């Protein structure tokens, strides 16, 4: 080549133009061939794999690439199904060629000489089971590397020790790949390397047989996952269909109104607003406002009710029965007595029956059916997730069954979130949010996050659409609309309006408080009253002086109500 070049220079001025052109092209071809005689190659490639008991593998590949010339883009191929792929220390983009994904690393200045890269990704090994034996197929080397490989080695760390010896299949050597490899196993580790260089586009899969139960969860087949997904979708559609056919009601008008619903008592509001538990203690306060009784708190915090007058026919029949039962043994009722507890329990059971006859259409379905379907969706998704998470153990099936129950319970807690919001129950609302987060985390760990998102969306939606019960009648829609409008008034009422009403009626705060407290807005009402001086309450008494400001009075009343609530629940 040197002689040829010298000849070209020597004769340059003596040849014709055509000869000069031919000689120039010849020199260019020779120089180009010489420059690219050596091709880029991978001098060393090491695969480190960490497998868990579900067959999910964290792969780390260390690649030393000897680059000939200058390359502005390098492609790092990924096996099919690879997730969370990254190239340590570099920003890459995903590139798809012929249906396969690779990480593209670009540099306008170009790459040259020898460079080392670290490729990280996650891949699910293919696990099959037959006749009590599980077979793991793990892709160690992707067949889409465009460079030959001088040295290749790997280390696979399994979740538990095993006794069998792995087999290997490569793209060029087939099942005879082991003849060209050095492989060693110890406890739960497989180490191996090729004894000679590999060609470009070489591949390597490891196959390992282990006893049944070594891997857990829906590891192998798409059918198990798709069955769970199909069941979840079917139950979701069933819940939505049941609501459309049996529970859907006319849209509520939530116009703000300063009066409670017609014929509704403070104890009724939780049930009318959000199917909540009736508040018997607020009925006691309301009777105090009406002059039927008074509430007395002694120095030790004990609460007693004193009857002032008999309740006449002006009150509804259920109300009269409860009042008579409360004072059946005399004109004084101890708030911690069994009589108070039984009367409260009777009221809590009677109030929903009273309103159900007035609120709902005769053809209404049962909201519990829709809620049950929603809970079943959450339970199935958590069952599948825990089946993928739990390792093989003696109590595995018991734990999976308990996870099914837990999923249903947590789903019910999530459903109660909207009602907690409307009733001002902050602790229950926090529990609902925490239950949803717990379900989502467990599902994500098991690989069922999308299904759980669907289950949680159904649970929250179920909580909203069953907030006021089943399919309402025209009268029921009117009453519930009034209840929601009154709640809106309590939320938005201004201090100016409250001051004006106090000038008209000095007992206005005490009259309004039982309604507000029944739906969790008592504290907000007291805060809006601020430092306004109030008249003394006509029906609430303590041995010490009762504060004359709204916030102070509310704090004292809450302590007394806590004692009454403790009596009811215990």
240: tokens are 């939505």
| DSSP assigned state of 314 | T
The helix/strand/coil state of 113 is: strand
Phi, psi of 357 (to 5 degrees): -70, -20
Give the pLDDT score at 494: 92
- C-alpha angle 541/543/545, rounded to 5°? 75
Burial of 549: CB neighbours in 10 Å, binned 0-12, 13-18, 19+: middle
Phi, psi of 177 (to 5 degrees): -60, -30
Rounded Cα distance between 397 and 557, Å, is 51
182 pairs with which residues across the strands? 193
| DSSP assigned state of 536 | P
360: tokens are 């709902």
Rounded Cα distance between 158 and 284, Å, is 67
Burial of 288: CB neighbours in 10 Å, binned 0-12, 13-18, 19+: buried
pLDDT in tens, the chain (570 residues): 433 344 344 344 344 544 555 555 554 444 444 443 457 899 999 999 999 888 889 999 999 999 888 888 999 999 988 888 999 989 999 888 777 889 999 988 888 899 999 999 999 898 888 888 899 999 999 998 999 999 999 999 999 999 999 999 999 999 899 999 999 999 999 999 999 999 999 999 999 999 988 887 554 433 445 677 888 999 999 999 999 999 999 888 878 888 999 889 999 999 999 999 999 999 999 999 999 999 999 988 899 999 999 998 889 888 999 999 999 999 999 999 999 999 999 999 999 999 999 999 989 999 999 999 999 999 999 988 887 777 656 677 888 899 999 999 999 999 999 999 999 999 999 999 999 999 999 998 877 888 999 999 999 999 999 999 999 999 999 999 999 999 999 999 999 999 999 999 999 999 999 999 999 999 999 999 888 889 999 999 998 888 889 999 999 999 999 999 998 887
Rounded Cα distance between 35 and 444, Å, is 53
For helices 495-504 and 508-518, the axis angle rounded to 10 degrees is 130
10: tokens are 């020597």
**Residue 508 to residues 265, 371, 468: CA-CA distances in angstroms?**
16, 40, 29
Q: Are 147 and 197 in contact (CB under 8 A)?
A: no
Rounded Cα distance between 297 and 559, Å, is 10
Give the pLDDT score at 222: 37
Give the pLDDT score at 215: 85
Rounded Cα distance between 520 and 515, Å, is 9
Give the pLDDT score at 180: 93
Residues with Cβ within 8 Å of residue 190, at least 6 apart in sequence: 154, 155, 156, 158, 166, 183, 184, 206, 208
Give the pLDDT score at 422: 94
| DSSP assigned state of 247 | I
């Amino acid at each position: 080549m040197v002689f040829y070049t010298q000849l070209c220079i020597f004769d340059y001025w003596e040849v014709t133009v055509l000869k000069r052109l031919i000689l120039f092209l010849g020199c260019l071809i020779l120089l180009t061939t010489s420059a690219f005689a050596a091709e880029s190659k991978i001098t060393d490639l090491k695969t480190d794999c960490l497998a868990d008991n579900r067959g999910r593998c964290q792969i780390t590949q260390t690649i030393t690439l000897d680059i000939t010339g200058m390359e502005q883009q390098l492609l790092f191929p990924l096996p099919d199904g690879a997730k969370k792929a990254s190239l340590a220390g570099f920003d890459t983009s995903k590139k798809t060629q012929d249906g396969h994904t690779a990480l593209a690393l670009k540099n306008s200045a170009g790459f040259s000489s020898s460079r080392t890269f670290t490729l990280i990704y996650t891949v699910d090994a293919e696990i099959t089971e037959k006749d009590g034996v599980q077979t793991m197929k793990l892709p160690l080397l992707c067949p889409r590397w465009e460079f030959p490989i001088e040295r290749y080695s790997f280390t696979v760390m399994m979740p538990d020790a095993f006794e069998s010896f792995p087999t290997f299949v490569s793209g060029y050597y087939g099942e005879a790949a082991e003849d060209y490899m050095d492989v060693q196993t110890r406890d739960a580790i497989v180490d191996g390397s090729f004894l000679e260089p590999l060609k470009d586009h070489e591949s390597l899969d490891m196959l390992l047989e282990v006893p049944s139960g070594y891997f857990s969860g829906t590891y192998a087949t798409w059918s198990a996952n798709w069955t769970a997904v199909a069941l979840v979708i079917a139950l979701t559609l069933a819940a939505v269909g049941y609501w459309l056919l049996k529970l859907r009601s006319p849209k509520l008008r939530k116009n703000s109104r300063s009066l409670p619903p017609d014929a509704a008592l403070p104890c009724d509001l939780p049930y009318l607003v959000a199917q909540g538990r009736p508040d018997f203690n607020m009925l006691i306060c309301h009777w105090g406002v009406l002059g039927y009784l008074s509430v007395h708190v002694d120095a030790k915090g004990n609460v007693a009710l004193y009857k002032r007058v008999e309740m006449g026919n002006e009150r509804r029949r259920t109300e009269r029965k409860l009042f008579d039962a409360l004072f059946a043994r005399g004109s004084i009722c101890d708030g911690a007595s069994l009589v108070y507890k039984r009367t409260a329990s009777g009221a809590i059971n009677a109030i929903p029956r009273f309103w159900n006859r007035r609120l709902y259409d005769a053809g209404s379905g049962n909201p519990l059916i829709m809620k049950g379907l929603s809970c079943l969706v959450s339970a199935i998704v958590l069952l599948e997730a825990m089946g993928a998470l739990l390792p093989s153990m003696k109590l595995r099936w018991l734990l999976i069954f308990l996870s099914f129950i837990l999923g249903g319970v947590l789903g019910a807690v999530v459903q109660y979130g909207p009602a907690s919001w409307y009733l001002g129950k902050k602790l229950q609302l926090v529990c609902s949010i925490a239950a949803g987060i717990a379900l989502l985390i467990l599902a994500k760990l098991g690989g069922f996050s999308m299904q759980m998102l669907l289950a949680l969306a159904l649970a929250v939606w179920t909580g909203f659409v069953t907030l006021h019960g089943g399919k309402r009648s025209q009268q029921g829609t009117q009453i519930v609309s009034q209840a929601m409008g009154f709640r809106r008034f309590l939320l938005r009422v201004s201090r100016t309006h409250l001051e004006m009403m106090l000038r008209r009626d000095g007992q206005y705060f005490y009259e309004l408080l039982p309604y507000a407290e029944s739906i969790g807005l008592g504290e907000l009402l007291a805060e809006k009253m601020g430092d306004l001086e109030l008249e003394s309450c006509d029906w609430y008494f303590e041995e010490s002086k009762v504060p004359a400001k709204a916030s102070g009075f509310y704090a004292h009343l809450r302590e007394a109500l806590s004692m009454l609530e403790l009596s009811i629940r215990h």
